């Protein structure tokens, strides 16, 4: 997988019917393979200038049969995605045409690309670092405009720049420590290693927080709508969706199973789960629905506890609130039916949760509820345009690991321990940060990361 001296080929667009499909090659024989298959406007294999698009046909050299009418481009290294010679053949988007052209490229000497191998070559050839390579997949998988912006910023090197700044400071501190170990009798220039470690710890704390927030942009959040029957849970779901998705009737217990739909809250994907009313029932189907409701409650990132704001809270409301409190999830108490005369006694149902008054019928208060939901999910005020630096769980874990080693090194330094003991933890922190950008990434890690990519990217 790490050989760079052969030529790889793959279909780089989704296989299926479409207007255009692209067959991509990368490697030293890319141009020769194209020239052996491509007739530019019927004039034969002419010399192809780099980064120019040519119209013509892919022809089977063994039979002279035309496989497809195409647009082909040759891109000379190093000004390419992989920093190798690259060819892209824009075919018609049918399955048969793409497979035919792919087969001819394979017969001409290319080999099938592994998943993510084009991006892997871009990394190995120094065009992008590992964090940027991972951002390529995030760009492809982005579901909202905000998650796309986070991925594009990471692809542009925003995260890598911050990581390299922290890592460089730790490397300089490590160099000072190792010099004092290796040359104890020489005069080593003074350096405040403690200040280096303190600054690195602050930066790593912030990076870990940013990554935790960014993961929500990348993976989304789960919100469970719970409450006793007939308080307006399904109506609230419909109001948040701005469409009638759940069946709403005056009959208690209409919703007997969970209903899930996804919305975007200022770029954060949010899965809303409308649950069956919690309480007691002799009906076996209702009891099963309640079990599923409690399962949704247990795995939610946020709970909307809905009560009827037009009547005083009762024992059933307090029972559901007890389930919410026991789950230990962040919650918002939603007093529905604000279009009716209000009863101001609901805050005591769940004192630890903020209270939002809404009318799922008229839409009053829904925008304010969404803002409160987003603030709670992101654990702070939602600021437009303030997308996080990182959004990858692997990066978050590495920031936490590096932070742990930095804090251990600072503690050892404060206790006056030997420099070599301090250096061990500083070195581990440097290694962890190197795994973010790829300086210290091993083959097993690379295979794990790039195996998640589609073939052709």
- Write the pLDDT tens digit of every residue in 312-366: 999 989 989 998 998 888 999 999 999 998 877 777 889 989 999 999 999 999 9
Distances (CA, A) of 17 to 13, 91, 96, 238: 11, 12, 10, 35
Which ranges of 300-389 would DSSP assign to H, the alpha helix? 315-327, 366-377
Per-residue pLDDT at 342? 80
Alpha carbon distance 54, 343 (integer Å): 73
**193 token code pair:** 């290693």
Per-residue pLDDT at 453? 86
Alpha carbon distance 409, 407 (integer Å): 5
Are 217 and 144 spatial neighbours (Cβ–Cβ below 8 Å)?
yes
* pLDDT tens digits, 170-183: 999 999 999 888 77
Alpha carbon distance 5, 121 (integer Å): 11
Residue 270: strand pairing partners: 221, 263
By mean pLDDT, which of 60-69, 110-119, 340-349 is the weakest? 340-349
Per-residue pLDDT at 254? 45
Mean pLDDT value of segment 379-395: 75
Considering the chain, what is the average pLDDT of its residues? Answer: 88
Alpha carbon distance 238, 252 (integer Å): 17
Alpha carbon distance 97, 87 (integer Å): 17
Are 271 and 222 spatial neighbours (Cβ–Cβ below 8 Å)?
yes
pTM to 2 decimal places: 0.80
* Dihedral angle over CA of 106, 109, 115, 116, nearest 10: -130
Per-residue pLDDT at 388? 85
* pLDDT tens digits, 246-289: 444 454 444 445 688 888 888 888 999 888 665 555 555 555 66
pLDDT at 120 over 60: yes
CA angle 343, 348, 353 (to 5 degrees): 110
Per-residue pLDDT at 41? 79
Are 121 and 82 spatial neighbours (Cβ–Cβ below 8 Å)?
yes
Alpha carbon distance 255, 178 (integer Å): 66
User: What residues have CB less than 8 Å from 142, skipping those under 6 apart?
Assistant: 148, 150, 151
* pLDDT tens digits, 72-100: 999 999 999 999 999 999 999 889 999 99
* pLDDT tens digits, 179-232: 888 776 666 778 899 999 999 999 999 999 999 888 888 888 899 999 888 888
* pLDDT tens digits, 4-37: 899 999 999 987 788 899 999 999 999 999 999 9
User: What residues have CB less than 8 Å from 370, skipping those under 6 apart?
Assistant: 240, 265
pLDDT at 385 over 70: no
pLDDT at 392 over 80: yes
């Amino acid at each position: 997988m790490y050989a760079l001296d052969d030529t790889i080929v793959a279909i780089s667009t989704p296989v299926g019917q479409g207007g255009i499909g692209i067959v991509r090659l990368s490697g030293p024989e890319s141009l020769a393979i194209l020239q052996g298959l491509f007739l530019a406007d019927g004039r034969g294999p002419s010399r192809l200038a780099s980064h120019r698009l040519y119209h013509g046909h892919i022809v089977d050299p063994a039979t002279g049969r035309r496989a497809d009418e195409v647009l082909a481009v040759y891109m000379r290294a190093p000004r390419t995605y992989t920093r190798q010679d690259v060819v892209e053949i824009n075919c018609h988007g049918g399955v048969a045409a793409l497979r035919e052209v792919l087969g001819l490229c394979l017969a001409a000497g290319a080999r099938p690309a592994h998943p993510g191998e084009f991006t892997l070559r871009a990394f190995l050839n120094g065009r992008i670092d590992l964090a940027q390579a991972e951002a390529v997949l995030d760009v492809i998988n982005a579901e909202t405009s905000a998650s796309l912006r986070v991925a594009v910023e990471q692809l542009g090197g925003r995260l890598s720049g911050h990581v390299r700044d922290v890592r460089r400071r730790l490397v300089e501190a490590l160099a000072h420590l190792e010099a004092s170990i290796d040359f104890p009798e020489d005069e080593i220039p003074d350096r405040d290693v403690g200040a280096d470690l303190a600054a690195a710890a602050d930066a790593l704390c912030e990076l870990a927080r940013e990554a935790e927030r960014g993961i929500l942009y990348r993976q989304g959040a789960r919100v469970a709508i719970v409450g006793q029957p007939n308080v307006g849970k399904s109506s609230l779901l419909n109001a948040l969706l701005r469409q009638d998705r759940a069946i709403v009737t005056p009959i208690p217990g209409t919703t007997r199973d969970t209903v899930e739909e996804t919305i975007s809250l200022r770029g954060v994907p949010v899965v809303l789960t409308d649950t069956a009313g919690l309480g007691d029932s002799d009906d076996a189907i209702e009891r099963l629905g309640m079990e599923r409701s409690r399962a949704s409650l247990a795995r939610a990132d946020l709970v909307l506890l809905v009560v009827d704001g037009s009547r005083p809270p009762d024992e059933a409301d307090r029972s559901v609130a007890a389930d919410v409190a026991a789950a230990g999830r962040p919650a918002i108490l939603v007093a529905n039916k604000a279009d009716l005369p209000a009863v101001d006694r609901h805050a005591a149902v769940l004192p630890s949760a903020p209270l939002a008054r809404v009318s799922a019928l008229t839409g009053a208060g829904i925008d304010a509820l969404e803002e409160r939901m987003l603030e709670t999910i992101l654990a702070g005020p939602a600021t437009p345009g303030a997308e996080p630096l990182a959004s990858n769980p692997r990066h978050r874990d590495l920031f936490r690991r590096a932070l742990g080693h930095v804090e251990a090194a600072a503690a050892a330094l404060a206790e006056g321990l030997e420099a070599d003991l301090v250096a061990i933890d500083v070195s581990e922190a440097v290694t962890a940060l190197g795994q973010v950008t790829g300086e210290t990434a091993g083959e097993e890690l690379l295979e794990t990361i790039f195996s998640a990519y589609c073939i052709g990217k």
